[in-house]
Structure 1
C-alpha cells in the first residue's frame, strides 16, 4: 500500500485542526521544517509520497501539538528578528512584539554612540543576540536568574556565532555589586499578574516557564526593582527599553519618571496598538 502524499496527509491533519479550532498552519509548519522545505518547496512537492520515517515523524509531532505543546518547542526552533533560535521549555518562545523593542534599540544604536549593552532577563538570548548580530562592535552582556535559560542562551550564541557575556544573577544584583555601567539597557521581564492566569492559553501555561511569565504586585514587582536599581547602572548618557504588559504603561512610566526625573519616559504601542514598551533616555534622539 502506498504511503500518504503530502497532500493527503495535510488534508487529514487540517480537518482535525479545523474541528478543534487550532492553528491551520501548524501541520504545514511541522512538515516543512522536518523535511527542510520552504513553504513554496512544500507546495512544489505537494503530491509526493512521504517516506515511512517522514510520516512517522510527522505523526509524532502532530500528536504532541494536539496534546497542547507549541510548535516551537516540538521543533526546538523559533524565528526572531530574521534569526532562528533554539528554544525549549527552559525559556519563553520569542514574540513578534519583542522584535519591536529590538527595532527601537537598533534605531538608537544607529544614531547615538552606544558601546555597552545589558539585556536583563535574557531567556533564550533573543534580544542580546539580535543586537549583537546587527552591531558586531557592541559589547553585549545578558543576564538571567535561571541556569537553564542561560544554558539555552549560550547554545544560541554558539549556533548564531554571537559573542555575548552571560551572567547568572537576580536581575542586576551582581552588576550593582561590581559597580558596572551601561549605555543601553533592555529588559523583557516577567510582567503578568497572577490574576491573569485564568485568562491565559493552556499552550502557554502548560509549557512556558512560570519564572519568566509572572510577577507579584499585579505584575509590576520587577519594574519597581528596576526603577530603583537602574539609575546606578547607566552611564552619563543612556537609553533604557522595557517590554511591558498592555495595561501597565502609565504605572511603569510613573515609576521611571520618579527615578529618572531628568529623562524622557515614553510609552510606545505595538503593532496591535496596545501599550507594549517603555523607553527612558536622556539622549537627544
Structure 2
C-alpha cells in the first residue's frame, strides 16, 4: 500500500522544515505533480493513494528542493502575468515584481498603437513575450548575450504565439549594428553587486544564471552601458524603463539624467513598498 496524499504532505513538510526550507513548498510540488488546479482540490483528495511513480517523483523533488534547487526547475515553468513560461537553469525565474515593470510600460504607452520596443536581456522572454501578447500591434525586439536563454525565450514566444524578434548580442549592440530605432527600451538587467552574493538564498545563488544576476560597479554596470548605447537606438520622446535593486533608484536616475538632462524620471515602488521601477521620458 502506497502513501496517501496526506501522508506524503506530512512527511515532505516536516522534512523540508528540518532542512530549512518552506514547508508549504510541498503543497506546490504535489499539486503540480498531480495536475491539480487548486490547493483545496489537494485537500479534498488527501486520502487518495499515490502511484509508485508519483511517490518516487515526489520524493525526488522534495530532496532536490531540500538541497536548494528551485521548485520551478523541478517542473520546468513559472507563471507570469497569468501565463505559463518555461524556465530552466539558463534563465532567471520570473518574479512578481517584474510584472510591475510590464504594467509601467503599458501605462506609459497607453493609447499608442504604433510602438516599437526592445527588451534588453530577455532571459525567459517574460517581459518581451508578455508585451507582444498584450499589444499584438506592437513591434517587439529582444536581445540577450546567452544563446541558451534565447532558446528558452523562443520556446515561450512560440507557445504563447508572440511574434517577437530575437537577437543574440550584448545589450543594445545588435540594434545599434542594425541601425534599428525604438520608442521604448525596457530591461530587467543584472543588478546585484558581487559582494552581495553571500546574502542571497542558495536557491538563487547556486541555481540561477550569474550572468543575469550580478553586475560590476555595485550592480550598476548594465544600466550605465544600456544608457550609454541608448542615444543610437531610442527615438525622440522615447521611454527608458528599468527594474532596479531597491537601493539603486537615485544612482540609476542620476545615470539617466547625465545622458538626458531634460528627461522626466519617475521612480515606482513594488508591491512591498520598495523602489523597484525607474521610468524616464526622454
TM-score by length of 1: 0.95
Distance 2:76 2:96 in 1: 17
What are the superposed Cα offsets for residues 213-259 of structure 1, whole Å, 9 maximum, x if unpaired? 11111111111111211122112221211011111110110110121
1:41 offset after TM fit, Å?
Answer: 2.0
- 2:32 corresponds to 1:29: no
Q: SS of the residue aligned with 1:247?
A: coil
Superposition pairs of residues 1-285 of structure 1, within 5 angstroms? 2-39=1-38, 40-282=40-282
Distance 1:141 1:7 in 2: 47
What are the superposed Cα offsets for residues 134-156 of structure 1, whole Å, 9 maximum, x if unpaired? 11111111100000000111111
List alignment gaps of at least 5 residues for structure 2.
none
1:17 offset after TM fit, Å?
Answer: 2.1
Distance 2:44 2:184 in 1: 46
Q: SS of the residue aligned with 1:68?
A: coil
1:183 offset after TM fit, Å?
Answer: 1.1
1:178 offset after TM fit, Å?
Answer: 2.0
User: Would the aligned equivalents of 2:172 and 2:229 in 1 still touch at CA under 8 Å?
Assistant: yes
1:77 offset after TM fit, Å?
Answer: 0.8
User: Would the aligned equivalents of 2:86 and 2:156 in 1 still touch at CA under 8 Å?
Assistant: yes
Q: SS of the residue aligned with 2:219?
A: coil
Distance 1:280 1:34 in 2: 43
1:118 offset after TM fit, Å?
Answer: 0.5
Distance 1:11 1:178 in 2: 57
Equivalent pairs counted in the alignment come to 281
1:113 offset after TM fit, Å?
Answer: 4.5
What are the superposed Cα offsets for residues 83-116 of structure 1, whole Å, 9 maximum, x if unpaired? 1110000001111111110111121233334421
Identify which range, 138-147 or 16-25, moves more after superposition: 16-25
Distance 2:177 2:160 in 1: 31
Distance 1:7 1:174 in 2: 53
TM-score by length of 2: 0.96
What are the superposed Cα offsets for residues 152-205 of structure 1, whole Å, 9 maximum, x if unpaired? 111111121211100001101121122211111100111111111121111111
Distance 2:199 2:75 in 1: 26
User: Would the aligned equivalents of 2:113 and 2:137 in 1 still touch at CA under 8 Å?
Assistant: no
User: Would the aligned equivalents of 1:244 and 1:277 in 2 still touch at CA under 8 Å?
Assistant: yes
Distance 1:217 1:108 in 2: 29
Distance 1:138 1:34 in 2: 37
Distance 1:129 1:111 in 2: 19
Distance 2:177 2:260 in 1: 21
List alignment gaps of at least 5 residues for structure 1.
none
User: Would the aligned equivalents of 1:114 and 1:183 in 2 still touch at CA under 8 Å?
Assistant: no
